[in-house]
Amino acid sequence: MTESQPAAAGSLKRTLTLWDLVFYGVVIIQPVAPMGIYGVVSMKAEGHVVTTILIGMCAMLATAFSYGKMAAAYPSAGSAFTYVGQELHPSLGYATGWSMVMDYLLNPVICTVLCSKLVVATEAGRMLPEAVWVLFFASLFTGLNLRGVKQSARTNELLAIFMGVVVILFLGSALKYLLGASLTGGDLVRPFYDPATFSTGKVLAGTSLAALTYIGFDGISTLSEEVENPRRNILLATVYTCLAIGILSALEVYTAQLVWGNWNGFTSVETAFVEIARKAGGTFLFTIVNATLLVATIGSGMGAQLGAARLLYGMGKSGALPRPFFGAVAPKSGIPRNNVLLVGAFALLGAYLLSYERGAEMLNFGAFIAFMGVNLAAFVRYFVRAGKKTAGNFFIPLIGLFFCFNLWWNLSWASMKWGALWLGIGLIYGAIRTKGFRKELVTFDAPPE
């Protein structure tokens, strides 16, 4: 079926427009995305949060372009696992998929940690130990996913609109607060560049964490079969979404730092933004922002656990992981129950062992490997193999590759060590399954023309 032909009976209808996709992308990433990581990034980059957001936007825009190009080539497949395996080598696709597994497994972990911290930040939440809240949220995510609870598109849209209202409320309160403050020119520039604390290494390290703001934009490609003119609109929507989130996030963290007046001094780095909200708008704004972050993180945690379970299922079904366990589906619910339970157990254990910062860094270890793979796959497909020697097909994926490699390289030593251990375990497992890589672990269909 071509893009101009009507959908066949029983197939998906191409009804989504470009702006439907952009709205969907903003919903996935969330307008409040930088609020949860603000304190951690501020401490890491010593105040240059807005700079890290903007550098991260450059890396993600180029990578979003590569994702859009690859989604056009594979309009019904759609993942770094597929793109790298098809365009570069099946074994590299497996290594990318294995890195993505760590990315997906750690997302529910940091959501569990953040939800617990946000509840404990309230007076009522402190009535129970934080460890109890960790158990509660890990169990909540698992239980809801086992029941097959699905978030409707309508619910997501309403949640996104509500979060947008909260962002506007925060910005309005911050502006009112700042109008009553005595700010100098130096104060206005300091969030971008503070000569007293600026360090290229620290800013890049902070950017490696700030990139978490954009994680999720690749989910737009999953709607390829329901989009009008997918070869054009998937690419544009992915790029526009990253641009919109980058500008909005930069505005949020810029005003936040102006209100706080410093880059440290938080009671808890995980709840730094809600402390700033209290300073800008009192208890009312603190309560609204805290509740919004909690609801948004619960939604992210549920979605992340479901995504991780489905990724494991896909790799099990393709033979990359043991099929009897990972490729199994519960007969009644149609849910990969084994995977949901495994991810839930991992989230519970990880939330007890890892800090939010360490979990986010390790998550980005896997994410940046996937991003580098997609940029390289786009370069090979469109510039090398297809022979389309355009400046865009040459420079954009290589710029994305360069930025993502530098951000990956500037992750903390601990996250690199644990990430390398995870990758090593995957390679050892792959070598055993393939008898020293003498046969393919994963078999892909022939690349589309």
What's the confidence (pLDDT) of residue 276? Answer: 93
Tell me which residue of 121, 82, 144, 98 sits closest to 347, measured CA to CA: 144
Q: Is the pTM of this model over 0.85?
A: no
59-73, 221-235, 246-260, 420-434: which range is least confident on average? 221-235
What's the confidence (pLDDT) of residue 9? Answer: 43
In a domain, residue 446? The reply is no
> In sequence order, what are the beta bridge partners of 227?
16
Contacts for 172-178 with beta carbons within 8 Å, 24 or more apart? Answer: 173/277, 173/280, 173/281, 173/285, 174/255, 174/256, 174/258, 174/259, 174/280, 174/281, 175/255, 176/280, 177/259, 177/279, 177/280, 177/281, 178/255, 178/258, 178/259
What's the confidence (pLDDT) of residue 154? Answer: 58
In a domain, residue 10? The reply is no
Which residue range is the domain that position 92 belongs to?
24-433
In a domain, residue 14? The reply is no
In a domain, residue 146? The reply is yes
The residue-averaged pLDDT of 186-199 equals: 89
Grade residue 151 by pLDDT with cuts at 50, 70 and 90: low
| Tens digits of residue pLDDT in 95-132 | 888 888 888 888 889 889 989 999 988 888 888 999 99
The residue-averaged pLDDT of 315-319 equals: 75
In a domain, residue 91? The reply is yes
Residue 447, pLDDT above cutoff 60? no
The residue-averaged pLDDT of 292-313 equals: 81
Residue 4, pLDDT above cutoff 80? no
Residue 226, pLDDT above cutoff 50? yes
- The residue assigned the tokens 């892909």 is 444
User: What total of structural domains would you count in the chain?
Assistant: 1
Residue 255, pLDDT above cutoff 70? yes
In a domain, residue 186? The reply is yes
What's the confidence (pLDDT) of residue 305? Answer: 82
| Secondary element (H or E) of residue 376 | helix 356-379
The DSSP result for 72-114, as a single string, is HHSTT--SHHHHHHHHT-HHHHHHHHHHHHHHHHHHHHHHHHH
In a domain, residue 246? The reply is yes
Q: Which two tokens stand for residue 332?
A: 């009644």
In a domain, residue 252? The reply is yes
CATH of the domain at 274: 1.20.1740.10
